[in-house]
Amino acid sequence: MDLTEQLPCYVSNINQLEADLLELGSLVEKAERPRVKELLKQEQKKVEKEITIKRQQKEQQARRQADPVASSKAAYTVKITNYAWDQSEKFVKIYLTLKNVHNIPSEKVEVNFTEKSFSVLVKDLDGKNHQMNVLNLLYAIDEQNSSTKIKTDMVLIMCKKKTTKKWECLTAVEKQSKDKDKPAPADDNADPSDGLMSMLKKIYTDGDDEMKRTINKAWSESQAKKLRDDGQMDF
């Protein structure tokens, strides 16, 4: 049986259920015994629920009949994680690897730019939507002159630089993370032991329990040796 034959069947079933519901309503009004009335009301609720389900099935069947290809596809979204980037004097280029993206209509690849961000949504590619949002770009871009190109198994995002400044990272967050990991500039007047102490403090803070016990033991032994040496010097 094809879809066009199934829809009238849903309509017929719904009509019969609605007639049953109407008759149950009439019986509830006539019933005098509380228990009988309660049983009839319970049956009313069952029929109402069944009508709701049949109507939903009818709507779903109509949508499948209208667009059988689209209705067969999954409607969930995954994040785009496979990408690379580089730059020229005028553009920052982001390469998104998406197999078969060149086979879908170009209007299904949506890219939006703002001065400090861009977002990508690729619809219905191999049964999924693919999404990427890049916020807080390192520097401002010219969103009006930024663009997108679809290549074989790839989407190329072209962010037009507002200045020819070289980008160290793609986002400001990445830049902050790199700066945080850089060692502090050397101070010629600083006590050399200060640098060692800072390094030990960082190792202690970041280390596990075993590392902390080792450092505590070494520190205690060092202090004890220093006290012994100082005592010998007094004599």
Helix (H, G, I), strand (E, B) or coil at 126: coil
Tell me the average pLDDT across 179-194: 63
* pLDDT tens profile 76-100: 899 999 999 999 999 999 999 999 9
Q: Which tokens sit at 163?
A: 């200045």
Instruction: Provide the β-strand partners of residue 133.
Output: 119
Q: What's the rounded Cα separation, in Å, for the pair 7 and 23?
A: 25
- C-alpha 101/C-alpha 96 separation (Å) is 10
Q: How far apart are CA 113 and CA 121, in angstroms?
A: 12
Cα–Cα distance for residue pair 204/177, rounded to 1 Å: 21
3-class SS string, 51-67: HHHHHHHHHHHHHHHHC
C-alpha span between 225 and 212 (Å, rounded): 20
CA-based R_g, the chain, Å = 35
First to last CA, the chain: 109
Local confidence band at 8 (pLDDT 50, 70, 90 cut-offs): low
| Residues of the chain above pLDDT 70, percent | 75
Identify the CATH assignment for 77-172 out of 2.60.40.790, 3.60.9.10, 1.10.3720.10, 3.30.70.100.
Answer: 2.60.40.790
* pLDDT above 80: residue 148: yes
| Residue 211 main-chain phi, psi, to 5 deg | -65, -40
Q: Which residues pair with 87 in a beta bridge?
A: 92
Say what the pLDDT of residue 61 is.
73
Pair 3, 65: CB distance under 8 Å = yes
181 pLDDT band, cuts 50/70/90, is confident
- Look at 146 and 32; give whichever has higher pLDDT: 146
pLDDT for the residue numbered 67 = 65
Q: Is the model's pLDDT at 191 over the cut of 60?
A: no
Tokens 């020819």, residue?
Answer: 164
Alpha carbons 63 and 67: distance in angstroms, whole number: 6
pLDDT value for 183? 65
Largest Cα–Cα separation, the chain: 116
pLDDT at 56 over 60: yes
On the 0-12 / 13-18 / 19+ scale of CB atoms within 10 A, 118 is buried
